[in-house]
Amino acid sequence: MGEMFVSLKISGSGLSAFRRKMNVAAENMANAETTRTESGGPYERKAVRISSRSTPVNFSQELNQATTRLARTDAGHLPTRRVKRFGSSEAFTAQTEEVTVKGQKFRMEYDPSHPDADAEGFVKMPDIDPLKEMVEMMTASRAYEANVTAVKSVQNMVQKALDI
């Protein structure tokens, strides 16, 4: 049963990571024409770096956090023997970091009427390819769906175990 909680933790971290990846791709697309940011220059493309992190998981702690305490109960409902406690195991969860892509180049567009144009009439524009961003979003969306499927599978297994 403890492995099911571990798999939920892993899938949950995957859901969070790929949601963040979709949000960053959407932010990049939304700012594809932004020529002035708070830092002064044009928008710089962002990316999400995903890495794994080892997290110790203790079944007893997870179970205690998942249960709710009863305000009052009949003494006959309490177990007469102690429940065997399992040791801890390890789960590798996804850790994300939002980074600005280093070494970016900017598109130079000729628009002398633009307020951010230089002396020659060129404007620095972010070099964001909407096609690449859509591919990033689709890939993250598919990975998100895979994690949702894994969570649903665990839910079904727990339900089947409770039906026994």
Interval 43-69: pLDDT, tens: 999 999 998 887 666 656 666 666 666
Interval 94-112: pLDDT, tens: 888 989 888 888 989 999 9
CA separation for the pair 83, 75 (Å, rounded): 17
| SS3 label, residue 6 | helix
Q: What is the DSSP letter of 86?
A: P
What amino acid is encoded at 126 in this protein?
P
- Helix, strand, coil % in the chain, rounded to nearest 5: 45, 20, 35
